[in-house]
């Protein structure tokens, strides 16, 4: 187990957990027309972005510093702590990761995870494993993704982004995600002096390799990841009080993930509260898992589950108990956070709330 003793986050709702929670409880999507670059040639024109053009490594340094301060880490603590990252890789990523760790006073940049939309959850899983199975006392996990012209064009040309500018997870009439800016950092510790936001009790990683960009229709990858996370935590499906789903509002991925939730948590999966907050803060790609870990921690801290926004009506392929109205309380102190990516990668985190 690994305790989350520091947590910092930046989304289109603003900087910090309070801004994120205020945005979630407003149930108003953060997406607006894109002004960062020209979208005139694209089908889609909306994204959930922060003002201006943020520098990824500058923002990560700020968030890492915030999370380490919150976890009450001394300079000596930081000098003994490795950094695990989740990023879209470029030719200079490794060198920049090393520089980032040094500028934050951390021991080293241990790993950079690039497993697309599952990158952050996989980074948290690796750090949790290090703390549970090695001599590491703690690790810092950070990830970021900011909407840029090249990534937007790639998703748009593939017909993935919602041309409507509205993300409708698990809903009838859904037509894809809306991309979003996101960055976050957490401190994971075996023990610590700061009160924890959450505890990572279990995790599961799979790579079903069914198709390069289509999931298995029965959701075999996510189902196996959830089963592994439950087994590692020593829990059964009836103990899960909330699922923060990956659900990007694409027809095939949502249907496959719904099948996975129903089967992996059977017979309770159809009665477990589910929502995808990508409908609100946008799809943050490599940062998704960390942003959504923050969402889960905030939901349990406030005793209220975030809604599955923009829902038009039920889809027979998604027979889930969706959180459609505000004010609904978690059913237990345990939550699952799921993230999947192209190529069939999937990581499930099982979180316990203090």
DSSP states of 231-247: HHHT--GGGEEEEE---
Nearest in space to 34 (alpha carbons), one of 50, 10, 54, 22:
50
Distance CA 315, CA 312 (A): 9
**Residue numbers annotated as active site:** 117, 246, 283
- Decide: helix, strand or coil at residue 349: strand
C-alpha separations of 155 from 62, 118, 285, 320 in Å: 29, 17, 11, 27
Distance CA 354, CA 335 (A): 12
Element (H, E) at 6: strand 2-11
Nearest in space to 343 (alpha carbons), one of 265, 253, 275:
253
Dihedrals phi, psi of 271, to nearest 5 degrees? -115, 0
- Decide: helix, strand or coil at residue 208: coil
């Amino acid at each position: 187990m690994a305790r989350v003793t520091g947590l910092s986050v930046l989304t289109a709702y603003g900087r910090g957990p309070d801004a994120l929670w205020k945005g979630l409880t407003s149930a108003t999507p953060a997406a607006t027309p894109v002004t960062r670059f020209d979208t005139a040639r694209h089908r889609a024109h909306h994204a959930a972005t922060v003002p201006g053009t943020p520098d990824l490594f500058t923002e990560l340094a700020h968030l890492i510093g915030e999370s380490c301060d919150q976890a009450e880490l001394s300079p000596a603590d930081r000098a003994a702590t490795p950094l695990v990252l989740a990023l879209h890789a470029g030719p200079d990523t490794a060198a920049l990761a090393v520089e980032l760790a040094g500028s934050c006073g951390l021991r080293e940049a241990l790993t950079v995870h690039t497993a697309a939309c599952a990158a952050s959850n996989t980074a948290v899983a690796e750090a949790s494993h290090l703390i549970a199975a090695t001599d590491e006392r703690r690790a810092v996990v950070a990830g970021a993704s900011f909407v840029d012209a090249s990534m937007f064009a790639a998703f748009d040309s593939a017909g993935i982004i919602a041309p409507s500018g509205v993300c409708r997870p698990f809903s009838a009439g859904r037509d894809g995600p809306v991309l979003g800016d996101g960055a976050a950092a957490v401190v994971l510790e075996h023990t610590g002096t700061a009160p924890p936001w959450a505890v990572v009790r279990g995790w599961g990683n799979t790579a079903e390799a069914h198709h390069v960009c289509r999931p298995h229709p029965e959701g075999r990858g996510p189902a196996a990841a959830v089963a592994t996370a439950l087994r590692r935590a020593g829990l059964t499906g009836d103990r899960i009080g909330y699922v923060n789903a990956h659900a990007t509002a694409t027809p095939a991925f949502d249907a496959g993930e719904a099948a996975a939730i129903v089967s992996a948590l059977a017979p309770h999966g159809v009665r477990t509260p589910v929502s995808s907050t990508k409908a609100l803060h946008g799809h943050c790609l490599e940062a998704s898992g960390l942003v959504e870990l923050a969402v889960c921690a905030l939901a349990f801290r406030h005793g209220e589950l975030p809604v599955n926004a923009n829902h038009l009506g039920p889809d027979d392929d998604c027979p889930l108990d969706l959180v459609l109205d505000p004010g609904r309380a978690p059913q237990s102190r345990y939550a699952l956070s799921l993230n999947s990516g192209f190529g069939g990668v999937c990581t499930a985190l099982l979180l316990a709330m203090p």
